[in-house]
Amino acid sequence: MRRIRKFIMQAIIFSAGCLLALNASFSMDIDLRNMPVPDKTEVLWSGKPFEMNNRKGLAAHLRAQQKVASELESFYKGALAAQGWQFQETNQQKNIISFKKGDKFIYILLHDQGNNPPCDIFFLTSNEDLGVCLELKDYYLKEMVAPDAPGKDFADVLAYPGSKRRFNLMVPEASGILLYEADARLEDVANFYEQALKAVGWRLNPRFKEQFLKARNLYSPESRVLYFEKGKGNLVITVHPVYPSSESKRVFITIVKNAEEFVNQERN
């Protein structure tokens, strides 16, 4: 369970940064407007909407130039407590802290450069609990693949036959991330997407730089990563065996659609 929880939390962190950046129009949320800002911290954007497993909220992205994650965690625990927010928990592995006040939830995701500044700060606010990991324990890794978890699929990207949805994060401008679970062989899933997407106009780009994923702790040598382009759109599909060293055919399939960071890394 710890392995799967880490996988899902990585998806949440990564999605908050590379997907929300695509939405150009937004409204300001009062909680985001009142968020304390450390010294020498730049507000990159704020108030952008997202939807996670049917839960809606707003997000903000800041960058602290002279702070690391541990310092910012202490700062926000004190500053938000002074505003009446109740500390909920910390995910030590991925530097996520959560707070609650009344019927509002705030999640703060901190990502520094290996305990060196600068540190990216992502705020997610919602009227609903976004802690989907505990809820998903009722869906993932059952003996028989369980039904779809709450959420939605991409209308224009086929799901692998027999796969079931576990997690989704959707933002405006047709962007998002989906996580599926399936009883299938890694190569069968990869071959399915190569053929199915080619048939509807997507082009497989063999120059995709896997070091981009390695730098974000999202790469595994057991995984298969496919990068597709179609016009100005892109898809990154990762197929990851749940039990790499066993005979089990269970895999996770992650589909990231129209992520700005993937576009940018191709330009570099």
Whether the full predicted model's pTM is greater than 0.75, yes or no, is no
3-state secondary structure the chain: CHHHHHHHHHHHHHHHHHCHHHCCCCCCCHHHHCCCCCCCEEEEEEEEEEEECCEEEEEEEEEECCCCHHHHHHHHHHHHHHCCCEEEEEECCCCEEEEEECCEEEEEEEECCCCCCCEEEEEEEECCCCCHHHHHCCCCCCCCCCCCCCCCCCCCCCCCCCCEEEEEEEECCCEEEEEEEEECCHHHHHHHHHHHHHHCCCEECCCCCHHHHHHCCCCCCCCEEEEEEECCEEEEEEEEECCCCCCCCEEEEEEEECCHHHHHHHHC
Q: Are 234 and 264 in contact (CB under 8 A)?
A: no
Percent above pLDDT 70 for the chain: 73
Rg (C-alpha) for the chain, rounded Å, is 19
pLDDT at 141 over 70: no
Distance of CA 164 to CAs 92, 151, 187, Å? Answer: 29, 11, 18
- Chain position carrying tokens 């962007």: 175
Q: Are strands 224-230 and 203-204 parallel, antiparallel or unpaired?
A: antiparallel
In order of 63, 77, 128, 154, the CA distances from 101 in angstroms are: 25, 13, 11, 33
Query: pLDDT per residue over 186-211, tens digit each?
Result: 999 999 999 999 999 999 987 666 66
On average, the pLDDT of the chain sits at 78
Share of the chain above pLDDT 90, in %: 26
Question: Helix 260-267 to helix 2-18 angle, to the nearest 10 degrees?
Answer: 70
Tokens found for residue 184 = 């299938």
Residue pair 43/86 in contact by the 8 Å Cβ criterion = no
Query: Mean per-residue pLDDT for 219-246?
Result: 83
Q: What is the pLDDT of residue 139?
A: 67
Phi-psi map region of 31: left, alpha, beta (phi>0 left; psi -120 to 50 alpha): alpha
**Does the pLDDT value for residue 164 go beyond 80?**
yes
Please state the rounded mean pLDDT for residues 32-48. Answer: 85
Higher pLDDT, 114 or 65: 65
Cα–Cα dist 231/100, whole Å: 42
Q: Which residue has the higher pLDDT, 19 or 48?
A: 48
Per-residue pLDDT tens digits for 79-101: 999 999 999 887 655 578 889 99
Does 24 have pLDDT greater than 80? no
